[in-house]
Amino acid sequence: MKRIKRLVSLGFILSSVSLALVGCGTDSTTGGEGGGDKKYIVATDATYAPMEYMDDKGNIVGTDIDIINALAEELDIEIEFKNYGWEPLFSAVSSEEVDFAVSSITITDERKETYDFSDPYYFANQLILVPEDSAVTKFEDLKDKRVSVQINTTGHKVVQGLLGKTSSKIVAVESMPMAISEMLNGNADAAIGDNAVILEYKKNNPKVALKTVEDEEFEKEFYGIMVKKGNTEILELLNEGIAKLKENGKLKEITGFDVE
Ligand code: ARG
C-alpha cells in the first residue's frame, strides 16, 4: 500500500515537471525561430478599461487589443498578449522580452529618446475626476490640492508641471484604478488620467457621486505602439498594418474616430 502511494506521488511529481517543461518550450517565441511562424509577444497593462483590461474570464480585452488583433489579421501574423503592468512593460520592451507594447502609450519626446513609436493610432487628452461636490472647475484649481495619478504617465507629468516635480501633494501609484481609489478614499482631492479611462470608470460606477472636469490646457496626446529603439523591422511592419487599418476604415470602426 505504502509503495503504491509512493509510486503515485512520484508519478505526480514527474507529470508536473514535464508540464512545467512544456510550459517553457512553447512560450519563448521571441526571436530564434525565424521564418514566417514567429509569434509576436505584446506587453500591456491590462488595468486600463476600456483600452486594455481583463474580462471576467481573465482574457485581456479592450480597444487597444482589438486594434492589435485587427492589425495582426491584416499582416497575417500571430500575436500573444502578456499583462506586465505599467512600469514593467517599459523594461520588457528594452530587454526584448517582448516584441512591442500596446498600452495607450502616449508618444512623447522624452520616451522617444529611449524607444521608437509607430505612427499614431488613437488620440486622447487628460481629464480630471473629482467628487461631485468638489469646487474644482479647472486644472489651475488643483494648485493647492492633492492629486492622484498613475506613476510615470503623461497625467503624472502634467500634474508635476502644476505642483512641482517632487511635490508631496502628488499621489503617484502603480495603476489608474489605484489612483482613482486614492481619490475615493480621501487621500487625494482629484485624480487625473486619460479621458477614455476616466469616463469609463464614471460610466461603470453610476452610484459613486463623481464629476469630470475638462481643461483646454491639456494637450492632445497621440498613442503609439512602442518598440525597442532601433527595431525598424517591427516598426515598419506595424506602420504597414496601421496604414492598412486607416485605409480600409477598420481603425475608425474600432475607435469611432479618424486619427491623423
Ligand atoms: N497615455 C498615458 C501615458 O502614456 C497613460 C497610459 C497608461 N496606460 C495603461 N495601460 N495604464 O502616459
**CATH code, 63:** 3.40.190.10
For residue 1, being part of any structural domain is answered with no
Residues 54 and 180 in one domain: no
Tens digits of per-residue pLDDT, 21-37? 444 434 444 444 444 67
Q: Which pLDDT score is estimated for 17? A: 45
Residue 9 belongs to some domain of the structure = no
pLDDT at 260: 76
Pair 78, 198 in one domain:
no
The verdict on 90 and 154 lying in the same domain is no
Q: Whose CA is nearest to atom 5 of ligand 1?
A: 153
Residue 234 lies in a domain: yes
Distance of CA 77 to the CA centre of its chain: 21
- Same domain, yes or no: 83 and 199: no
28 belongs to a structural domain: no
Residue 17 counted as domain residue: no
- Indicate if ligand 1 lies below 6 Å from the C-beta of 149: no
d(CA 256, CA 253): 6
Look at 26 and 51; give whichever has higher pLDDT. 51
Q: How many domains does the chain have?
A: 2
For residues 116 and 70, state if they share a domain: yes
Mutational test site, ligand 1, from 84, 104, 107, 151, max ligand atoms within 8 Å of CB: 104
Nearest to 158 by CA among 134, 202, 194, 198: 194
C-alpha cell at position 193: 488620467
Q: Shortest CA distance to 198 belongs to which of 224, 186, 215? A: 215
Atom of ligand 1 nearest to the CA of 111: 4
Residues 184 and 201 in one domain: yes
Strands 78-83 and 39-44: parallel
Tell me the average pLDDT across 205-227. Answer: 98
Tell me, yes or no, whether 136 and 244 share the same domain: no
- Residue 9 to residues 17, 21, 190: CA-CA distances in angstroms? 12, 18, 55
**What is the extent of the structural domain holding 164?**
126-213
